[in-house]
Amino acid sequence: EPEVTQTPSHQVTQMGQEVILRCVPISNHLYFYWYRQILGQKVEFLVSFYNNEISEKSEIFDDQFSVERPDGSNFTLKIRSTKLEDSAMYFCASSDAVAGTDTQYFGPGTRLTVL
Amino acid sequence: AQTVTQSQPEMSVQEAETVTLSCTYDTSESDYYLFWYKQPPSRQMILVIRQEAYKQQNATENRFSVNFQKAAKSFSLKISDSQLGDAAMYFCAYKGMEYGNKLVFGAGTILRVKS
């Protein structure tokens, strides 16, 4: 069964450093998403991406965040200058909007720890 | 803005018994999707079941079923014949049709299964 994959599973970084979180969505999906979950809190939407551009973003997704689809398979989330409060689990998800299937399938997540 | 409320922070069930997890939501839209996701200790988000608002019939997936009450804006999850592997955090999520593709999550309910 196709699945969303994410790398790395755990990233440790120093405050102020840049990190790139990588995702490979399900191959025939067209909508891509990033969510985050701070430990013990609810899952929060960050951004959605369609047709090589951001379709929606939340207030959390400020100028220090960016997303990119550098090739036909990868979807990345970059945090330019990490802060302690960026420590969270980051989930990538994808959905096949064309087929009318609005279910988002999630990857296993990347645990980001900012020291 | 749409909101999702899960009023039970934690629930317990005896193995082989039935448990119901509650979820209510607030929206002005008439067409939308509702989901239950399971998050085991690995923290991966696993789709359990989904319900389209235009369908009156309650969704069922093996031991999992929902009680969807559109007028009451209620969407509860029933787990029958509970198994130890059902122990996890369960999130209720809403996706509207008019305001983008993002999922709005509830705070989650921790389900403990006793042997």
Angle at A58 between CA A80 and CA A109, to 5 degrees: 65
Instruction: Collect all residues with Cβ–Cβ distance below 8 Å to B57 and sequence separation of at least 6.
Output: none
Is the distance from CB of B36 to CB of B64 less than 8 angstroms? Answer: yes
Q: Which two tokens stand for residue B36?
A: 């239950």
User: For residue A98, what pLDDT is reported?
Assistant: 58
Residue B104 is predicted with a pLDDT of: 94
Find the closest chain A residue to B38 by CA distance: A106
B50 contacts A103? CB cut-off 8 A: yes
Per-residue pLDDT in tens (0 to 9) along chain A, 115 residues: 778 999 999 999 999 999 999 999 998 888 999 999 998 888 999 999 988 899 999 999 999 999 999 887 899 999 999 999 999 999 999 998 655 557 899 999 999 999 9
Q: Which amino acid is at A41?
A: Q
Give whole-number Cα distances, A98 to A95, A108, A113, in Å.
9, 24, 36
pLDDT at A100 (0 to 100): 52
Locate A51 and state its tokens: 């047709």
Residue B110: both structure tokens together: 């921790």
Collapse the DSSP code of B23 into the 3-class scheme (helix H, G, I; strand E, B; otherwise coil) and give the result: coil
Query: What's residue A96's pLDDT?
Result: 85
- The structure tokens listed for A3 are 């699945």
Residue A92's SS3 state is: strand
Instruction: State chain A's maximal CA–CA distance in angstroms.
Output: 43
pLDDT tens track for B25-56: 999 988 899 999 999 988 888 999 999 998 88
Q: What's the token pair of residue B100?
A: 């983008």
Min distance B44 CA to chain A CA atoms (Å): 5
- The CA distance from B54 to B26, in Å, is 16
Q: Give the closest-approach CA distance of B83 to chain A in angstroms.
A: 22
**DSSP symbol at A9:** S
Residue ranges in chain B whose pLDDT is less than 70: 99
Res A80: pLDDT: 95
**Chain A residues close to B43, C-beta within 8 Å:** 37, 89, 108-109, 111
β-bridge mates for residue A6, sequence order:
A23
Q: How far apart are CA B66 and CA B74, in angstroms?
A: 10
Rounded distance between C-alpha atoms, residue B109 and residue B115, angstroms: 19
Tell whether B110 lies on the interface with A, counting CB pairs under 8 A. Answer: no
User: How far is Cα of residue A103 from the mean position of the Cα atoms in its chain?
Assistant: 16
* Cβ burial A78-98 (10 Å sphere, 16+ → b, else e): ebeebeeebbbbbbbbbbbee
